[in-house]
Chain A
Amino acid sequence: MPGHTPKKSRIVILQLLLAVAMLGTWEYCSASKIVDPFFFSRPSEIALRVGHWAATGFIWPHLLTTLLETVLSFFIGSCFGSVFGFALGTLPTAAALLDPYIRVGNALPRVVLAPIFLLWFGLGIWSKVALGVTVVFFIVFFNTFRGIREVDSLLIDNARMLGASRRQVARHVLIPSALTWIFSSLHISVGMAIVAVVVGEYLGASKGVGYLIAQAEGVFDTTGMFAGMAVLALTVLLIGAIVGWAERRMLRWKPPQASNAPDRIPPE
């Protein structure tokens, strides 16, 4: 029934119940050998393993490595992407010239770059950062480009009539517009950065969560693999919450999207 919005607390309780039901089924099937515990492990064992990793401090260097690589690739990729996007957004000729090359670059599956980056940058963090940068760069680039291109020309005209120079138009109109697009794509670019970094670690590293999963796979330790995934999932959730908070702060001026948002239009 439209118009009926369930209470948030009730939804959270239902969500928790769903999780319990799914994990319970998994646990039961594994314990009663309906599925082979060797291949599917058990939630209780996975939880124990994660707890053990955390208690012994074994997981932290790996997790920190993955986070560091993600943050580095995010910042480097964002810097290059936004500068490049701004330049091409304001220079139509250059944009037309480079268009096919950008398409080719973006069409290339990033995973195939991992081996070549391993050769170039070695097993350390920089080969993963490089992979992450190639992913983040294109997302930020396209969003900056669109933000610059699709800015309402009326806003530019208005700024010019109020006395804005070219530089002031860029500062007060073009850049804020591009930032809107970049911030709205934060979730995607950060998420994709993690994916790229973990894939890089999986393919060849000496540290990191992806490396842990690869190691566990090497000895058929499914519990270890699932534990690695669980750690990653928790990390992504946490980062998602932080990004969501940052986005809300930065885009305070945007109308809330959700239909159940409070009506903030004051009476005339």
Chain B
Amino acid sequence: MNDAPAVAVRNVSKAFGSFVALDNISLEVGACRFVSIVGPSGCGKSTLLNMIAGLSLPSEGQIEVFGHPLAGINRRASYMFQRDALLPWKTVLANIQFGLRLRGYGRERSLEEAQAWVRRIGLDGFGNHYPYQLSGGMRKRVAIAQCWTVKPDLVLMDEPFSALDVHTRLRMEGEILTLSSSSKATVIFVTHDLEEAIALSDEVFLLSASPRTRIVGRYSIDLPKPRNLIDIKSDLEFQNLYRTIWRDLRKEVLKDDAGTHS
């Protein structure tokens, strides 16, 4: 079972009534890979991610996780949502250890772990603060810790940093890169930002415009690791990749435009 892909999406379609959102999608994500899914906005990226998470069911097709067909919630995955999903009535520490407590870890053990994470994400002294007392970037860091404390084999991220300013965002991306390479977790990262996708990933999947979204491209990103997210954008190979993928993405974005205005 060891060489089974972390996630295998096989001929998956998703329809909402008569609206076909995803049409016959197939993709494989190898274990320990960092994979991005890119596409024009509203193309069903989140829908696909929700199905991999087990939060919603495909209308057709099947999803396998580490070789096993997915039924119900994906127990090996953590999910970092686009919007803030921290429990507002729990402190930073309580939020970080939430997953551990749910999994039956003892009070002391979880607290210790959470305190270590608070230091790791640079929120020393904020352990007993409530989410509303934190800035957007700090809340994202707590959400990152909440996701990673449960030591997931698979981390699903749905445009997690789209609401952040450029500098905070760059820092968060760096943290995610460090975490994923040190933990051996597989990451599926959904974004509409092509630069972000290329800079972070080993592989990028490109989705077509809605409706009947298909996969229209698959690109290997063989940039050397570890990567410096600030300098990488001036790298020649990065720019070549960007140009190649953008040419394909551009078509979809324009198609989307034509579709909504006709």
What A residues does B220 contact at CB under 8 A?
none
Is B87 in contact with chain A by the CB < 8 A criterion?
Answer: yes
Residue of B whose beta carbon sits closest to that of A164:
B102
Q: Which of B79, B87, B130 meets A161, CB within 8 Å?
A: B79
Is A158 in contact with chain B by the CB < 8 A criterion?
Answer: yes
Min distance, Cβ B174 to any Cβ of chain A, angstroms: 15
Min distance, Cβ B104 to any Cβ of chain A, angstroms: 9
| Cα–Cα distance between A134 and B70 once the two chains are bound (Å) | 49
Selected A-B contacts with CB under 8 Å, 18 pairs: A154-B81, A155-B85, A158-B79, A158-B81, A158-B87, A159-B87, A161-B53, A162-B146, A172-B87, A172-B90, A172-B102, A176-B89, A254-B132, A264-B133, A266-B126, A266-B135, A266-B138, A268-B168
State which residues 42-86 of B face A: CB under 8 Å: 53, 55, 73-75, 77-79, 81, 83, 85
Min distance, Cβ A142 to any Cβ of chain B, angstroms: 21
Min distance, Cβ B32 to any Cβ of chain A, angstroms: 21
Q: Assess the B126–A253 pair: CB atoms within 8 A.
A: no
Min distance, Cβ A164 to any Cβ of chain B, angstroms: 5
Query: Given the known A-B contacts A162-B78, A163-B99, are A157 and B85 also in contact in the complex, defined by CB atoms under 8 Å?
Result: yes
Is A252 in contact with chain B by the CB < 8 A criterion?
Answer: yes
Q: Which of B77, B79, B150 meets A157, CB within 8 Å?
A: B79
Is A65 in contact with chain B by the CB < 8 A criterion?
Answer: no
Chain B contributes a number of interface residues (CB within 8 A of A) equal to 32
| Cα–Cα distance between A168 and B104 once the two chains are bound (Å) | 11
Q: Assess the A163–B75 pair: CB atoms within 8 A.
A: yes
Is A180 in contact with chain B by the CB < 8 A criterion?
Answer: yes
State which residues 123-164 of B face A: CB under 8 Å: 126, 130-135, 137-138, 146, 150
| Cα–Cα distance between A178 and B73 once the two chains are bound (Å) | 25
Give per-residue flags for A75-104: 1 if the beta carbon is below 8 A from chain B beta carbons, else 0.
000000000000000000000000000000
What B residues does A164 contact at CB under 8 A?
102
Is B88 in contact with chain A by the CB < 8 A criterion?
Answer: yes
What A residues does B79 contact at CB under 8 A?
157-158, 161
Interface residues of A, Cβ cutoff 8 Å to B: 154-155, 157-165, 168, 172-173, 176, 180, 252-255, 264-266, 268
Is B103 in contact with chain A by the CB < 8 A criterion?
Answer: yes
Is B117 in contact with chain A by the CB < 8 A criterion?
Answer: no
Min distance, Cβ A253 to any Cβ of chain B, angstroms: 4
Is B189 in contact with chain A by the CB < 8 A criterion?
Answer: no
Query: Given the known A-B contacts A154-B85, A155-B87, are A162 and B135 also in contact in the complex, defined by CB atoms under 8 Å?
Result: no
Min distance, Cβ B81 to any Cβ of chain A, angstroms: 6
Residue of A whose beta carbon sits closest to that of B85:
A158
Known A163-B150, A164-B102; further 11 A-B contacts with Cβ < 8 A = A157-B81, A158-B85, A161-B73, A161-B78, A163-B103, A172-B90, A172-B102, A252-B130, A255-B132, A265-B134, A266-B133
What A residues does B90 contact at CB under 8 A?
172, 253
Is B98 in contact with chain A by the CB < 8 A criterion?
Answer: yes
What A residues does B77 contact at CB under 8 A?
161
Query: Given the known A-B contacts A163-B99, A164-B102, A268-B137, are A253 and B88 also in contact in the complex, defined by CB atoms under 8 Å?
Result: yes
Q: Assess the A157–B55 pair: CB atoms within 8 A.
A: yes
Q: Which of B53, B83, B99, B135 meets A265, CB within 8 Å?
A: B135
